[in-house]
């Protein structure tokens, strides 16, 4: 065994720079993926709609959940993009918190626009980031408002299949229905899937799921059909703020590192990348994220590991247990009691 997985080019675990090549595509195009920059997501859900429309994903329940503006809830067989909404009592970068508008007559203010000093005209700018609004106690950026409410920051994030470098769903699929495309993405062939459901608990992100009325499993294909003819996936196309960026993974990683550095410089210390590290438990995600809080706040696992990492060890233990079982039976038949029967 020796250097095991290293020698095989990290096929089951660890960094794998040439995903498509390792899956048997000699002249694969560059690996494509998503970079979802949640700092510019406005929660419009255009991605959810575009995905459903393009891929003809059926409706899966209309519910009011009380989870902020999120009535979609989770990724699943019929939800391949999911916009999460998180309301937090925390200032966001250059946000101007603690401002109340109850006393303001907006129509009157509009009528006065540009005519007096208290209503700045077009072109006036907000106070610079981080500066306390008037009346704030010294040293405190965001004061409590008189009714005891605190400031709010609203995190929005469009979640999607991560198209892992080491995809557990693909590894455990017994039929070969799940496969790696030439773009390094992971896709289900619905005419092969026999609905065994093994990929569902194997996914460390809770992405793939079974469609109840049809028995097969479904998930994001990274619009394999569109990629084939040089188009970008529907969700990225529809995103009005470029929160969802599509492109070659190498390029996206550079862009993301740049964006994080800029946000840190602008005082958004919470900004961090999630899933971009090729050294992580799944060998890096083909769809990675810029988040503004811990991953679990968005419903993402903080340190996912592909279950296949431990599979060789599992087989070893099972083999040992099988031998033990034979030993038990041999013991049962061999050690006969003294007295003859």
Partner 1 sequence: MSGADAGRGGAGGGRPGREAPTGAYAGRRRRRRGRGERSMVPDASFSSYYGKPVLNKPTWKALDIAGYLYLGGLAGASSLLAAGGELTGRPRLAAPAKLGAAGAISLSLAALVHDLGRPTRFLNMLRVFKPTSPMSVGSWILVGYAPLTMAAAATEVAVRYRLLGSTAAEVASRYRLLGSAATLGAAALGPAVATYTAVLLSDTAVPSWHEGYRQLPFVFAGSAAAAASGLALAAAPTSQAGPARRTALLGAALELGAFQLMRRRMGIAAEPFDQGRPRILLRASEALTVTGAALALLSGRLRDRRVALAAGAALLTGSAALRFGVFHAGVASAEDPRYTVVPQRERLAAQGS
- Binding residues for [4Fe-4S] cluster, as ranges, are 41, 44, 47, 51, 161, 164, 169, 173, 193, 196, 199, 203, 220, 223, 235, 239
205 binds partner 1 (CB under 8 A): yes
198 binds partner 1 (CB under 8 A): yes
The residue among 306, 79, 77, 76 whose CA lies nearest residue 203 is 306
Residue in the block written with tokens 């006393």: 103
Strand ranges for 225-329 from DSSP E = 244-248, 272-274, 287-291
- Name which of residues 300 to 329 contact partner 1 (CB under 8 A): 300-304, 307-308, 310-311, 313-315, 317-326, 328-329
In angstroms, give the least distance from the CB of 69 to partner 1: 12
108 binds partner 1 (CB under 8 A): no
270 binds partner 1 (CB under 8 A): no
- Residue 298 has what DSSP assignment? G
Q: By C-beta, is 84 or 252 nearer to partner 1? A: 84
Q: By C-beta, is 54 or 205 nearer to partner 1? A: 205
Strand ranges for the chain from DSSP E = 32-37, 81-88, 153-160, 178-180, 186-188, 209-210, 217-218, 244-248, 272-274, 287-291
269 binds partner 1 (CB under 8 A): no
In angstroms, give the least distance from the CB of 116 to partner 1: 40
In angstroms, give the least distance from the CB of 75 to partner 1: 8
Q: Which residues are annotated as a binding site?
A: 41, 44, 47, 51, 161, 164, 169, 173, 193, 196, 199, 203, 220, 223, 235, 239
Stretch that binds partner 1, among 22-30, 94-102, 110-118, 186-194 (CB under 8 A): 186-194
Q: How many CB atoms lie within 10 A of CB 113?
A: 12
In angstroms, give the least distance from the CB of 137 to partner 1: 24
Q: By C-beta, is 89 or 145 nearer to partner 1? A: 89
Residue 109: what are its φ and ψ, rounded to 5°? -65, -40
The residue among 45, 34, 55, 74 whose CA lies nearest residue 239 is 45
4 binds partner 1 (CB under 8 A): no
Task: Determine the Cα–Cα distance for residues 143 and 136; give it in Å rounded to an integer.
Answer: 6
The residue among 280, 161, 145 whose CA lies nearest residue 222 is 161
- DSSP H helix total and E strand total for the chain: 10, 10
- If binding means CB under 8 A, how many residues of this protein chain bind partner 1? 88
Stretch that binds partner 1, among 39-47, 98-106, 132-140, 292-300 (CB under 8 A): 292-300
Q: Is residue 252 within a helix (H) or strand (E), and if so which, with residue range?
A: helix 249-265
């Amino acid at each position: 065994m020796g250097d095991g997985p290293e020698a095989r080019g990290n096929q089951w675990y660890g960094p794998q720079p040439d995903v498509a090549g390792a899956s048997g595509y000699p002249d694969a195009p560059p690996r494509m993926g998503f970079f979802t920059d949640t700092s510019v997501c406005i929660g419009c859900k255009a991605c959810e709609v575009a995905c459903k429309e393009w891929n003809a994903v059926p409706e899966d329940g209309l519910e009011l959940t009380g989870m902020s503006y999120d009535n979609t809830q989770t990724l699943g067989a019929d939800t391949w993009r999911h916009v999460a909404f998180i309301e937090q009592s925390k200032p966001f970068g250059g946000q101007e918190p603690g401002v109340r508008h109850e006393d303001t007559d907006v129509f009157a203010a509009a009528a006065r626009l540009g005519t007096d000093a208290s209503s700045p005209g077009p072109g006036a700018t907000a106070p610079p980031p981080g500066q306390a609004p008037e009346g704030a106690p010294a040293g405190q950026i965001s004061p409590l408002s008189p009714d005891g409410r605190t400031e709010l920051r609203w995190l929005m994030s469009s979640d999607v299949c991560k198209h892992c470098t080491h995809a557990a769903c693909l590894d455990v699929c017994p039929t070969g229905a799940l496969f790696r495309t030439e773009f390094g993405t992971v896709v289900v062939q619905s005419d092969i899937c026999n609905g065994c459901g093994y990929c569902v608990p194997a996914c460390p992100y809770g992405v793939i799921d079974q469609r109840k009325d049809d028995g097969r499993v479904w998930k994001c294909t990274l619009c394999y059909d569109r990629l084939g003819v040089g188009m970008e996936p529907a969700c990225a196309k529809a995103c009005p703020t470029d929160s969802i960026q599509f492109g070659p993974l190498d390029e996206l990683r550079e862009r993301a590192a740049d964006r994080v550095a800029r946000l840190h410089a602008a005082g958004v210390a919470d900004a961090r990348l999630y899933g971009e590290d090729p050294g992580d438990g799944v060998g890096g995600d083909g769809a990675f994220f810029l988040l503004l809080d811990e991953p679990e706040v968005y419903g993402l696992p903080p340190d996912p590991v592909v279950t296949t990492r431990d599979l060789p060890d599992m087989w070893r233990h099972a083999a040992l247990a099988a031998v033990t079982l034979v030993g038990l039976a041999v013991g049962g038949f061999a050690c006969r009691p003294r007295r003859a029967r």
